[in-house]
Amino acid sequence: MKMLAAVLHGFNDLRLEELPIPEVKEPDDVLVRVRACGICATDYKAIRGIRRNVSFPSIQGHEISGEVAATGSAVKHFREGDAVIVQPLGHCGICNDCRVGNTHYCRNSFVLGGDGPPDVRNGGFAEYVLTKEHTLYRKPENVTFDEAAITEPLAGAWKGVIRHSEMQLGDDVVVVGTGSIGSLCIAVARAAGAAKLIAVDTSDFALRKAVEFGATHTVNCSKEDAKARIYDIIPEGPDLVVEAAGSIEAVRLMVNLLRRGTRWNVFGITTHEKFELDGGLAHFLEARMDSSFGTTTTSMIKAIKLLESGLVDISKLITHRFPLAKIHEAINLMESPNRSKIIVNS
């Protein structure tokens, strides 16, 4: 039996190929028929060579939903035909990090179609993906496969804004960078009761999308002095600033926005670039820096509840859909400022 897959053989060398369908070999293996897979910026960076920690050949794509196609002998909680959401990061459950709830720190972890741990396995830009039972969550009936594929980035937004930065009801929040992940941070902050919620970006399209997710104000930092405008809106300064743009310029802007007691989260940037921080100023500001990467089992469950309850309407984030056979068009569209989340359907 064969399946269609988008195989990355080198930077800018993505090929559609017929491959054998992965086999269930281990007792806890689950084969998932991929129904939808979102394109993340990390996927785009891997394909274009912006992110270099990529092995070849490989199948990218880690925002996955689908249906169980086959199970190993020890799988008890899922059966063929079940609609599922796949958490791309697998964990052992035994190490100290797992046992205290930091499953994303697991020293024995693996990832499907992404980056982080050394054990990188084929991801969701294919008709089938092989994973483990513990990475699966049931898809709510009122959530589509396309929406369910965005559970993982929504879980990351919840983890960053709520768990790590401890956003509180009534906080004034600034989100720098309102692409897909920034919009999700805004949606989480709105659901959690942010007072003033300011979206900062260079794209008017992205800022309009941010308003759909609950931003009360927008600032186009390519057209106006972002700090001056933000402090005009909230003269006392922000309670929380989330950097979700993925650029060092966004991190520098975030630092420039700090006042005493501000919490700030280095959320979007993954490249190894440097910024300066005045030690004495950091000391007397008592600004608390957090960062966040990946997802945990807790954050996945919270994200599913946000989707199922309608507290976050994820459908507004999806702007384009492509069949797997047209994945090259989808990747090219990632370069457009007039898109949010792109879904690949197998």
In angstroms, the CA 11 to CA 286 distance is 43
Q: Which residues, other chains included, contact 224 with Cβ-Cβ below 8 Å and sequence gap of 6+? A: none
- Check: CB of residue 126 under 8 Å from CB of residue 19: yes
221-259 pLDDT, tens per residue? 999 999 999 999 999 999 999 999 988 999 999 999 999
Map out the domains of the chain with their CATH numbers.
2-153+295-345 (3.90.180.10), 166-291 (3.40.50.720)
Phi, psi values for residue 147, rounded to 5°: -65, -40
- Which two tokens mark 11? 């930077």
Give the model's pLDDT for residue 220.
98
Give the model's pLDDT for residue 280.
87
Please identify every stretch of the chain with a pLDDT value under 70, giving residue numbers as ranges: none
Hunting for tokens 């003033």 — which residue is that? 196
Phi, psi values for residue 324, rounded to 5°: -55, -35
**Prior bond of 118 cis (ω within 30°):** no
Give the model's pLDDT for residue 270.
78
- Which two tokens mark 171? 């906080």
| Three state DSSP letters for 77-94 | CCCCCCEEEECCEECCCC
The beta strand positions in 63-216, using DSSP E, are 63-71, 83-86, 89-90, 110-112, 119-121, 128-132, 136-138, 173-176, 197-201
